[in-house]
Structure 1
Amino acid sequence: MKNIFFCPDESNFYSNCLENLVLRNCQKSECVVEFGSGDGSPVINSLLRNKFDGVIHGFELNTSAWKAANLTIDEYNLGHKYIIHNSCLFESSQPEAEYLVANPPYLPAPDKEIYMPLLFGGIDGATVTNELLSLGYDNVLLLVSSYSNPESTIAHAKSNGYRVTNFIVLPLKFGYYSSEPKVKNHIEELRKNKMAFYSGDYYFLAGVLFQKSQESRVDLSNQLAQVMTSL
């Protein structure tokens, strides 16, 4: 469906990041909050492959995606592990949780008039990502794009007390949404100002675990910045 985000490569990558950076680290019945669940497939696929026994509360504004997600959740009897609310996380009573996870909207554009307005990430693509890092969760897993002002996100995370404790990077080809002329031209302008980094038709997408815990002195922020700006 055209009104539901569809990019198998990106969804599979998000699912792998969830498994390797979040679910496998959960030792008890943790609560996880997800911003922008879409059709739910990344989380559903992760839950089917892991023994996670906590609860994931998803928030999804797109009613079509929310309905599609719930059909699949019911099909696999995952209703006790994955509950998706048809509302905006920022405007809702936020559940207490050990983790916040998201593949947030990160398309940069001059305005929301793009193929799928819910994918609009602000003028530089980092607006929603940075807002999520302002909510105060101790552990935050986000997908960060190299063409969406990644250095601003790393700096914003640091200013909010986060360290980058782990990350996974995937080279991706510009897809249907990012290749829209209005979006692609805007990304080209951002590159001139060193706010977007890509090479030819490829950019980097990173699954990044930001943590506030003082237990670990590991901080991979500089390494992440070097990778994301290397294209």
Structure 2
Amino acid sequence: MVKSPNQVFFCPEESQFYAQCLEKMVLSQSHTTDPIVEFGAGDGSPVIRALLNSSFEGVVQGFELNFEASQLAKLRIEQYGLGAYYQIHNACFFSNAPANARYLIANPPYLPAPDNQLYMPSLHGGDDGALVTKQLLAQGCEQVMLMISAYSNPVDTVDFALQQGYEVADFMVTPLKFGYYSCEPKVRDSIAKLKCKRQAFFSERIYFLAGVLFRQKSAATVCLSEEFLKVMTAL
């Protein structure tokens, strides 16, 4: 089953990094039966890769609106025999996710643009790219692991998370080249405007993508917010 990049999100480098972040910061740290909900499961490959490399024994409930992507994810889950650990729902996360979910993971849409008339409309993250990320942080889950782009207003995103009662508990960062989706003229124009307002950070060819674990504040939490932002705003 082959789909074009306009039907199903396709970026091997980003998907592999998301999987690494899930394995290190979520699956290896969670109790063996803690359920996890996922916003935007896509083709399922990041979670599948992470599950295959971990001893996690709970269940990941993935929500994906794109029918083609959800069907591809279900096929791959079946091929790897992971049906007991990863379940895909072709439904809206915000309307159907369990209200009492403690753990949330996502690689949310983060392309900044004035509208969603893009190569792939579902990747639109609002004017500054942080709209959906903030919506997920507002759900109130105990722990939230999100992918955050340095060109999508990361400083304001962290400030919003702090206001919601979170702290940065852990993070991983990788450099990525601008690709098929982020090189669309409308997106690059929005990114350039954000940079002028110190809301986007990147060099001519690369930007930083981070996997960030937000955790509700507690006496035992070591906050890494300042360290994280120092890395993300370095370019």
Structure 1 and Structure 2 fold alike (TM over 0.5): yes
What secondary structure, in the 3-state scheme, does the structure 1 residue paired with 2:162 have?
helix
Tell me whether 1:143 sits opposite 2:156 in the alignment: no
Letter in 2 for 1:102: A
* Contiguous gaps of at least 5 residues in structure 2: none
Alignment-derived partner of residue 16 in structure 1: 20
Q: Distance in 2 between matches of 1:121 and 1:94?
A: 23
What secondary structure, in the 3-state scheme, does the structure 2 residue paired with 1:66 have?
helix
Task: Note if contact 1:106-1:119 (Cα within 8 Å) is conserved in structure 2.
Answer: yes
| Alpha-carbon offset, residue 33 of structure 1 | 0.4
Alignment-derived partner of residue 55 in structure 2: 51
Q: Distance in 2 between matches of 1:226 and 1:48?
A: 33
Q: Distance in 2 between matches of 1:14 and 1:149?
A: 19
1:202 aligned to which of 203, 206, 229? 206
Residue deviations 1:153-181 (CA, integer Å, cap 9, x gap): 10000000001011000011101000011
Task: Note if contact 2:170-2:224 (Cα within 8 Å) is conserved in structure 1.
Answer: yes
- Please give the root-mean-square deviation of Cα atoms over the aligned residues, in Å: 1.0
Q: Distance in 2 between matches of 1:216 and 1:130?
A: 24
What percentage of aligned pairs have identical amino acids?
52
Q: Distance in 2 between matches of 1:67 and 1:217?
A: 39
Letter in 1 for 2:197: N
Residue deviations 1:104-136 (CA, integer Å, cap 9, x gap): 000001100000000000000000001100000
What secondary structure, in the 3-state scheme, does the structure 1 residue paired with 2:28 have?
helix
| Alpha-carbon offset, residue 91 of structure 1 | 1.8
Task: Note if contact 2:39-2:105 (Cα within 8 Å) is conserved in structure 1.
Answer: yes
Letter in 2 for 1:143: M
Q: Distance in 2 between matches of 1:145 and 1:53?
A: 30
TM-score (structure 2 length as normaliser)? 0.96
The number of residue pairs the alignment matches comes to 231
* Contiguous gaps of at least 5 residues in structure 1: none
Q: Distance in 1 between matches of 2:213 and 2:62?
A: 18
The residue correspondences of 1:53-132 to structure 2 (distance < 5 A) are 53-94=57-98, 96-132=100-136
What secondary structure, in the 3-state scheme, does the structure 1 residue paired with 2:192 have?
helix
